[in-house]
Structure 1
Amino acid sequence: MSTLLDVKSLHTLYGSSHILHGVSFSIQPGQAVSLMGRNGMGKTTTLKSILGLVTPRSGTVTFQGEEITQKETWRRMQLDIAYVPEGRGMFHNLTVKEHLQIAARANRKGEKHWDYERVLKTFPRLQERLNNLGTQLSGGEQQMLAIGRALVTNPELLILDEATEGLAPLIRKEIWEVIRTIKDSGISTLIVDKNIQVLKDLCDQHIVLVKGKVVFDGSSERLINELETVESYLAV
């Protein structure tokens, strides 16, 4: 099986601040991978380095065998990568329907497994709010829309930054169920979240960052066996 995403020895700086110190990990096709760590440990910078929103000082990012370290962000998106940002990224002048329709496309293979209708079936609440602006939705509804907007691009890799941050418990549970459905559909996922109890059951592989360094990279079985140690890395 060919590796889908391969991140090797990323060193990323903001000015003179050295944020990532040799971050390396990989994602296989169909895998769900968690990226955990306390606030300020480099999770979002890792995502931005993968997406081209910041340029690493050194190291490489390879997607489906193609090195993309220097590619512009929009070119990476054309390679079937989708991103659900922290804060959801709603367009203030677009309705729910327009958010979904403007993003819809087939993947590079010409496949369209996720379309407008499938997203509405997955998120019935969006069906009720089609003519509302995205900014008029609740936080949970915005997250559903952000995920749906990413899915209609039919990605090979879906990246979710703070997937359930700030959501009510019932909405959080609903989002996790959708993420499991996405995984079961064969889409690889990279998930930033703090809920280790859910992630250990949902994801195949787990990455933990401390001060921009990978301190844990292992399977769910290993995570469970070393849970106390991993939780110590995540404790405030």
Structure 2
Amino acid sequence: MTQLLTVRGLHTFYGESHILHGVDFTLEAGQAMSLMGRNGMGKTTTLKSVLGLVTPRGGEVLFNGSDLSTLPTWKRMRQGIAYVPEGRGMFHNLSVKEHLQLAARPGTNGQQEWHYDRVLETFPRLAERLTNLGTQLSGGEQQMLAIGRALLTNPDLLILDEATEGLAPLIRKEIWEVIAHIKDSGMSTLIVDKNIQVLKNLCDRHVVLVKGQVVFDGDTAELLSDLETVETHLSV
């Protein structure tokens, strides 16, 4: 398989606080990867380092063979990356329809497999609320809108940070079903979440962080063979 995202030796600081200590992992094209760890272990900092939202002091980020390490965030995203942030990132003055229209563009191959109508078919609840402001939606609906907006950029890689955090169980189940559908479509995904019971079945590869270091990196068979140890790393 083709290596899509390669992270090598990331060392990231906030001020004098050393958060990431040489983080390494590789995501291959078409794979779904989970990035797990307790709160404060460096998951979101890893994503922000990949996206250029924070600048690591060491290491490199390669995407489709190109070095992104010196590029600003917007240029990294234009390489074919979409990001669904924790907190969903709604624009206060845009309707649901405007959120979706603003994001829509062809992918890096010039195709637009995810288009406006396909997103509304995937999230019929959004079709009922097109004139509502994004900030007027429920938490679950906002997450649907954030994912739909990201899909309309037709990325090669979809990154989801805490995709189901704080949602009601039924809405959480619906979001996981959509993410599974996205994975089955062949789109590569990098998912930060704590739900190992879902992730072990959904993802092909798994990375676990403890205090900014990778303590587990393996496929699902390796995860299941060492599940007790991994669960210990994730427990409070």
RMSD, aligned CA = 0.5
Aligned mates of 2:70, 2:167 — CA distance in 1: 35
Is 1:48 aligned to residue 48 of structure 2? yes
Amino acid at match of 1:10: L
Aligned mates of 1:222, 1:75 — CA distance in 2: 35
Q: CA deviation at 1:109?
A: 1.1
Amino acid at match of 1:230: V
What are the equivalent positions in structure 2 for 1:40-79 lying under 5 Å apart? 40-79=40-79
Amino acid at match of 2:16: S
**TM-score (normalizing by structure 2):** 0.99
Residue 11 of structure 2 corresponds to 11
Is 1:197 aligned to residue 201 of structure 2? no
SS of match in other structure, 1:4: strand
Q: CA deviation at 1:149?
A: 0.1
**TM-score (normalizing by structure 1):** 0.99
Residue 184 of structure 1 corresponds to 184
Residue 148 of structure 1 corresponds to 148
Give the total of aligned pairs.
236
Q: CA deviation at 1:2?
A: 2.1
Residue 105 of structure 1 corresponds to 105
Aligned mates of 2:76, 2:95 — CA distance in 1: 26
Aligned mates of 2:108, 2:139 — CA distance in 1: 32
Is 1:160 aligned to residue 154 of structure 2? no
Aligned mates of 1:160, 1:72 — CA distance in 2: 20
Matched-pair contact (CA < 8 Å) for 2:164–2:172: yes
Aligned mates of 1:195, 1:222 — CA distance in 2: 17
Is 1:124 aligned to residue 124 of structure 2? yes
SS of match in other structure, 2:48: helix
Residue 213 of structure 2 corresponds to 213
Matched-pair contact (CA < 8 Å) for 2:38–2:235: yes
Unaligned runs of 5+ in 2: none
Amino acid at match of 1:183: K
Aligned mates of 2:60, 2:2 — CA distance in 1: 17
Amino acid at match of 1:12: T
Q: CA deviation at 1:108?
A: 1.7
Measured against aligned partners, the alpha-carbon deviations of 1:158-180 in whole angstroms (never above 9, x if no partner) come to 00000100000000000000000
- Runs of at least 4 residues off by over 3 Å: none
Q: CA deviation at 1:70?
A: 1.2
